[in-house]
Structure 1
Amino acid sequence: MTFTCRQCGTCCMYLGDYIVIDHQIGPFEFSCESVSTGTTFTARVDEDKREIFRNHTFPDENPHACRFLRPEGSFLRCTIHTDSPAQCKFYRCVIMRITGPGGNPLGTVTGTLNLHSDDTLLRARWETAEKNIPESLPDVEERRKVYLTGHGYMVE
């Protein structure tokens, strides 16, 4: 299964707490820290994203979002894609949101097919799905979605 980024920005909506701008070096260059790893890095806004970066409305309205995330049309774009830290380069976004019958959120699944949930029943169902629907299948995401839906979950 090949991961394809959908550029929805969901993965970056809470990275403002993990990627911190220490100070601005130049008009489009920043000294930053990746808080979760304690590493510093220099972020340069990609040349093709400088115009959308100039607008600070989105980060001002979404204080927990990564400070380098900006809307462009129907997408949310990383404006430092070239210089983004390793945690961003290796992250795989949410491909499934799982809710219970009452609409309460129970968990998410990332592009690497990892379930993130504290719900023990959902975790048990997911483990069964992993055993019965291997990652090697080309339609693994869809099959696991059908499996969970068949057990009363709503998956989008």
Structure 2
Amino acid sequence: MATFDCNWCGKCCQSFGEFIRIERQVSGRDYFCRYGITDELFPVHVQPEFADEIEEEFEESDGGKIPSDHKGCTFMRRSKEGHGFACAIYPTRPTICREFLCYRMLIHHPESGEVRGKIIGINELRTHDELLQKIWNEKIAHLPHPFASQHDAVMHSHGPGAQEAHGHESHIHAHVKGVGHTDDHEWVANVITILASHGYKGDPVE
């Protein structure tokens, strides 16, 4: 199993993070928040380097509403180290954030070990390898998957740009709706077998 490696792109925070709302402040760095879709209520403790700006925004906001110029989660902040985004409540982030992985399988070249692609959700491959893309399109993309039977229960879009975003978005909403991947071991095994038959190694992410 590969270990998930976050690159702090902030896409997940911009997507389902917009449903996280501060309900009340307990202290200078402590808040109670609610996740709007699952209705989960959870306490958070803000990291010291972000405490002042979040407290100031909360005091100026309308009941914890995210400022219009702040896209996504109110706790998503520019990294103080100058690379990507950081989570101001990372140690106390809610369940939805702890369980989310934005890609679920790495695909390696068996000899060099080089990562040649990433599987996002169940229906998207990110790769620059033309042969791997061809294998995906012809052999894997149409494999039956348990998630497909619950397609209607998951919010998603077929509008402009949906083809690019659909894998990422459907994976986010699968977690939001509780449609996990615990029942898709057969699908994962089939993908790994197909990849191996063409000289690639599929490495599921934990």
How far apart, in 1, do the equivalents of 2:17 and 2:24 lie?
A: 15
Q: Which runs of 5+ in 2 are unaligned?
A: 58-65, 104-117, 127-159, 174-186
TM-score (norm 1): 0.58
8 Å contact kept, 1:28–1:45:
yes
Q: Per-residue CA shift, 1:23-76, capped at 9, x if unaligned?
A: 2222221111122222211111023543675685x954234x011000121311
Q: How far 1:109 moved relative to its partner?
A: 4.8
Matched, 1:67 2:67: no
Residues 138 and 68 (structure 1), Cα distance of their counterparts in 2 relative to 1, 3 Å cut: farther
Which structure has the larger Rg? Answer: 2
SS of residue matched to 1:89:
helix
How far apart, in 1, do the equivalents of 2:53 and 2:84 lie?
A: 12
Q: Per-residue CA shift, 1:101-133, capped at 9, x if unaligned?
A: xx94413359xxx698xxxxxxxxxx7x82612
What one-letter code is carried by the residue in structure 1 that aligns with 2:90?
H
1:43-58 equivalences under 5 Å are 43-50=44-51, 53=54
SS of residue matched to 2:97:
helix
8 Å contact kept, 2:33–2:41:
yes
Which one has a larger percent strand, Structure 1 or Structure 2?
A: 1
What one-letter code is carried by the residue in structure 2 that aligns with 1:66?
C
1:115-126 equivalences under 5 Å are none
8 Å contact kept, 1:9–1:76:
yes
Aligned to 1:90: 99
Residues 93 and 23 (structure 1), Cα distance of their counterparts in 2 relative to 1, 3 Å cut: same
Q: What's the % identity of the aligned pairs?
A: 22
Q: Which runs of 5+ in 1 are unaligned?
A: 117-126, 142-156
TM-score (norm 2): 0.46
Aligned residues, how many?
Answer: 121
How far apart, in 2, do the equivalents of 1:74 and 1:52 lie?
A: 19
Matched, 1:34 2:46: no
